[in-house]
Amino acid sequence: MRERFPALGPKMRRATQPDWQLGSDFRTFNFGRRVLVLYRDIARFADAIVSHLSEFARASTTGTGNRAGAFRLNVGDAPELFARRAKRGGLIRYLLTDLYFGFDPRPLRELAVTVEARRRGIAVADPMGAMVERAGFGAYRGFFLTRAIAGLTLWEFLQTDDDPIVRELVLRQVREAIDAMHERGLFHADLNLNNVMVENASESFAVKLLDLDKARLERGALSMTRRQANYARLLRSARRLDPHGRHIDAAALKILSGA
In this prediction, residues 65-92 reach a mean pLDDT of 78
Answer for the pair 234, 192: CB distance below 8 angstroms, yes or no: yes
Answer for the pair 144, 86: CB distance below 8 angstroms, yes or no: yes
Identify whether residues 190 and 104 lie together within a single domain.
no
Tell me how many domains the chain contains.
2
Identify whether residues 104 and 192 lie together within a single domain.
no
Residue 7 forms part of a structural domain: no
Give the predicted TM-score (pTM) of the model: 0.86
Residue 19 forms part of a structural domain: no
Identify whether residues 142 and 30 lie together within a single domain.
yes
Identify whether residues 97 and 170 lie together within a single domain.
no
Of residues 225 and 7, which shows the higher confidence score? 225
Distance CA 58, CA 55 (A): 6
Range of the domain at 186: 151-256
| pLDDT tens profile 136-172 | 888 998 999 999 998 999 999 999 988 899 999 999 9
Pick from 31-40, 121-130, 134-143, 185-194: least confident: 134-143
| pLDDT tens profile 166-180 | 999 999 999 999 999
Residue at which a domain ends, from 147, 162, 181: 147
Residue 65 forms part of a structural domain: yes
Residue 142 forms part of a structural domain: yes
